[in-house]
Structure 1
């Protein structure tokens, strides 16, 4: 792969990881807000800030580690075969999210939809950043 391709795909993968992190973090903040609403003494805004400061780096670490190898395989395949389909990247992201949950929990549990949704949004973001240009450097110029 050319340097431009590596830089583009790396930016796309990191963008996808950040997107998946945001989806998962927003879900947990929503659950935290629901729990706070049902308490006699509501949580302070600092509790939410603390949850973000601890949650985002921790979730991002796990997303990057768990999605790394399957993402490399998917990116390589899309670059090699010049696959630029939005549907391909969204479905691949969902499959990677599902596989990540299997690796993390050793089973599919009631939060499986969250990982699939986060993966689909990650695939969408990857396509926006890099996927729609997949294989552009390997195409032959038309005469």
Structure 2
């Protein structure tokens, strides 16, 4: 079984909606972020990924750790993700870039879409609710 080390962010807008993304050619909605490179800390990887995917630059001080979670990967068979998750407020509107095909918003108190990634569905949403 393969494990991918990733870093991702819970990005909240002024209405407390959670930003979700869907990568090109996939079905699952997930948090923005991605795989860590060998020489990167989780925070460095996340800052790089946010720039690549959303053209969003966030200072390290804007990203608060939410936790570290492990779950089956959404888009890769026989693979798990070991994820460092951070939380931040979006300073401005963003648009999909790089491999992203769709941006979506998860509204507080609304039903969750069926196609949430396991990491988000099984761990992150509960951690967010507990904050």
TM-score by length of 1: 0.28
- The structure where helix makes up a greater share of residues is 1
Task: Flag the structure with larger Rg.
Answer: 1
TM-score, normalised on structure 2?
0.30
